[in-house]
Chains A and B, each alone.
Chain A
Amino acid sequence: MAITLDNMQKGQKGKILKIVDKGPFNRRIRDMGVVPGTEILYEGKAPLGDPINIKAKGFSIALRNNEAEKILVEII
């Protein structure tokens, strides 16, 4: 089942399918190792609900919900 990253639940695992963005966000997130095929773990939200924290390739990355919307994930 494919959903956008911001709709994942705490503790859920997923695999990146696609990053729907052709701008600097795509470049940044790729440079940090989040590319299609990468397995991620949704670790949780910041106290104010945004940004969110995911784990990929063994390290944690924070990103905002409106950016997470651009990432398609398959829940595994």
Chain B
Amino acid sequence: MRIAVAGNPNCGKTTIFNGLTGANQKVGNYPGVTVEKKMGTLKIGEEKHDVVDLPGAYSLSAYSEDELVARNYIIEEKPDLIINVVDSSNLERNLYLTVQLMEMQVPLLIVLNMQDAAVSKGLNVEAKKLSELIGAPVVSTVGHKKEGIKKLKEEISKSTKDISFTPISYGKETEYALSEIQKTLDELAFSDSELNKYSKSWFALKLLEQDMQITKIFQEQFHEKTEPIVARINKYAKHVDATLDDTTENIISSYRYGFASSVVKQCITKTFEARKSLSDTIDLFITNRLLGPIILLLVLWFSYQVIFTASEHPVAWLESFFEFLHNGAAKLIPKGLFQSLVVSGIIDGVGGVLGFIPLIMFMFFLISFIEDSGYMARIAFIMDRILRTFGMHGNSILSFIVSGGIAGGCAVPGVMATRTLRDPKERLATILTTPFMNCGAKLPVFALLITAFFSKNQGMMMFFITLLSWFFALVVAGILRKTLLKGTPTPFVLELPPYRMPTLKGLLIHMWERSWVYIKKAGTFILVASIIMWILMTFPQYKSHSSRKMSEAELAQKNWVILLQEELEWL
């Protein structure tokens, strides 16, 4: 069976995905976009199921690339089952997505996650009642404590392709317009056309909502034959505008919320009135006018210290390991071109990059902690005003930090993290400026320069260089946004999720995913590039070199390799 996991950002979707697939995961990309595609295998007894973790989405309205990817995956790949993870402590908004999944007429299994958080907020959510109200099976879980995962697996085994959702009411006017559009679609032989992968009722609804993507697909398929439907939609839109002064999209979304809120009213009972939550109390300090920025700087400075202190020894071990390889190969392989290729080209080149893996791993571990705990969203909140001055978005902050905003990052996952930016120009500006950050491959060069010029206060100097990289990245981004990538800024609306203690397993998985991307690049691109560089440095050969000159040439070659690796980080 092919299963897709869908849900809002911050609903514990990834924890459920990790709970189902364990370590059997791999990361890829959705075709044509930079959106990360996480896949895994779920074993229930003898059966094996493919599970895909769809990007987190509040809605399927195609606001961001993430949402569009999730939506297109469901349409194109037609998974046999969609596990919709909802946050019990935040049910109404989470059900808004559920309603849209119901509209798509796909087999659903609802996971009522974070039951513990709901209970501590004084909310009692009845799973059975929810299941009746929606018309789909519901399982209660506490993802980070692994509660309910077994039951979830049982339900997955039992799942069928039958769909019997409770119909959603959109009001008389809208439903009348919908039925007319569906009728006209029948006349156009919609079900026999290439568009029959879409559910007809969903397609009609999206047309009525004036969804850009669906409208375009519709026009391309039927051309001038679309006229009666376009006329019908315009009539409805005019009516909505005249009577309610609103757009069709908003009206339909109000009905969705209407359904969601009536479901919530019927299946939630309040056991007590919640007082200020711990998360709110923490926020009093963290987003405080004075303390907020101080805490932010302290966190960055502390991360910095931890990464360098903790990775000092492992990096040294790896360096001596590559030295051992270097010497071993030099002994085993007879002197000559081949030896030089293996030793100076491959081992020194790839080793120079792989040697930083421990540092990279510590850095990604800390970034995952900052992200999973909920602090990253606060950084975006605090920094947005500054980024805005440069025509950027608080949401770009994650990319900058991953790319080396905390020294030792890598631009590759940084660029991948830009996927949540909606505006292509803002995204491009972020992608183009992340390489200014103090990434792992630049560190050795900076470290060398610092030791040479500022032997005192080395740590402090590195910190300043990091701040300087921020400065350059932002200034260049600002210039880009005022010239080549001009455009109005997109709205900054960001959820500040409650603080949570990340699970060790989750952190390790995230750390590994990002580090693996780095290792793969070192193993492929940099290997090839090292060989090319070696060839360029070795040929043509001059016979008259003295041994002293040779060592200088070797030194130059080594520096070249480092510079090249730095260049590669840009890609």
Q: Which residue of B lies closest to A55 (CB)?
A: B280
A19 to chain B, nearest CB (A): 8
A46 lies within 8 A of chain B by Cβ: yes
Q: How far is the CA of A28 from the CA of B58 in the complex (A)?
A: 9
Q: Provide the residues of chain B in CB contact with A64, threshold 8 Å.
A: 384, 388, 491-492
Q: How far is the CA of A25 from the CA of B422 in the complex (A)?
A: 11
Q: Are A35 and B283 closer than 8 Å at their CB atoms? A: no
Q: Are A43 and B283 closer than 8 Å at their CB atoms? A: yes
Within 8 A of A (CB), among B261-303: 280, 283, 287-290, 292-293
Q: Are B493 and A29 closer than 8 Å at their CB atoms? A: yes
* Contact status of A47 and B382, CB under 8 A, knowing A32-B93, A33-B92, A60-B495: yes
Q: Provide the residues of chain B in CB contact with A36, threshold 8 Å.
A: 254
| Stretch from B154-162, B245-253, B405-413 forming part of the interface with A | B245-253
A67 lies within 8 A of chain B by Cβ: yes
Q: Are B497 and A51 closer than 8 Å at their CB atoms? A: no
Q: Which residue of A lies closest to B296 (CB)?
A: A47
Q: How far is the CA of A73 from the CA of B278 in the complex (A)?
A: 27
* Contact status of A47 and B121, CB under 8 A, knowing A25-B493, A31-B61, A64-B491: no
B367 to chain A, nearest CB (A): 20
Q: Are B493 and A32 closer than 8 Å at their CB atoms? A: yes
Q: Which residue of A lies closest to B92 (CB)?
A: A57
Q: Provide the residues of chain A in CB contact with B498, threshold 8 Å.
A: 59-60
Q: How far is the CA of A48 from the CA of B93 in the complex (A)?
A: 29
Q: Are A33 and B247 closer than 8 Å at their CB atoms? A: no
* Contact status of A62 and B381, CB under 8 A, knowing A24-B422, A27-B249: yes
Q: Range of interface residues on chain A? A: 20 to 34
Q: Which residue of B lies closest to A33 (CB)?
A: B93
Residue in A35, A53, A62 with the greatest tally of chain B CB atoms within 10 Å: A62
Q: Provide the residues of chain B in CB contact with A59, threshold 8 Å.
A: 90, 93, 495-498
Q: Are A46 and B491 closer than 8 Å at their CB atoms? A: no
Q: A61 touches which one: B288, B380, B382, B494 (CB < 8 A)?
A: B494
- Interface residue count on the B side (C-beta < 8 Å): 43
B386 lies within 8 A of chain A by Cβ: yes
A52 to chain B, nearest CB (A): 9
B8 to chain A, nearest CB (A): 9
B183 lies within 8 A of chain A by Cβ: no
Q: B491 touches which one: A24, A33, A35, A48 (CB < 8 A)?
A: A24
Interface of A, helix, strand, loop or mixed by DSSP: mixed
Q: Are B496 and A62 closer than 8 Å at their CB atoms? A: yes
Q: How far is the CA of A2 from the CA of B377 in the complex (A)?
A: 30
Q: How far is the CA of A57 from the CA of B95 in the complex (A)?
A: 12
Q: Are A50 and B496 closer than 8 Å at their CB atoms? A: no
Q: Are A57 and B90 closer than 8 Å at their CB atoms? A: yes
Q: How far is the CA of A49 from the CA of B169 in the complex (A)?
A: 42
A63 lies within 8 A of chain B by Cβ: yes
Q: How far is the CA of A58 from the CA of B273 in the complex (A)?
A: 12
Q: Are A22 and B247 closer than 8 Å at their CB atoms? A: yes
Q: How far is the CA of A26 from the CA of B63 in the complex (A)?
A: 11
A12 to chain B, nearest CB (A): 16
B235 lies within 8 A of chain A by Cβ: no
Q: Are A63 and B491 closer than 8 Å at their CB atoms? A: yes
New contact pairs (9) apart from A60-B495, A60-B496, CB-CB < 8 Å: A35-B254, A46-B385, A47-B287, A47-B289, A49-B385, A59-B496, A62-B380, A62-B492, A67-B492
Q: Chain A residues in contact with chain B, CB under 8 A? A: 22, 24-33, 35-36, 43-51, 53, 57-64, 67
The 10 closest A-B pairs by CB, nearest first: A33-B93, A48-B385, A31-B59, A25-B491, A60-B496, A31-B58, A47-B292, A62-B494, A62-B381, A28-B493
28 A–B contact pairs at CB < 8 A?
A: A22-B247, A26-B247, A27-B61, A28-B491, A29-B491, A29-B493, A32-B58, A33-B257, A35-B257, A47-B288, A47-B289, A47-B290, A50-B388, A51-B381, A51-B394, A51-B492, A53-B283, A58-B89, A59-B495, A60-B498, A61-B493, A61-B496, A62-B377, A62-B380, A62-B496, A63-B491, A63-B493, A67-B492
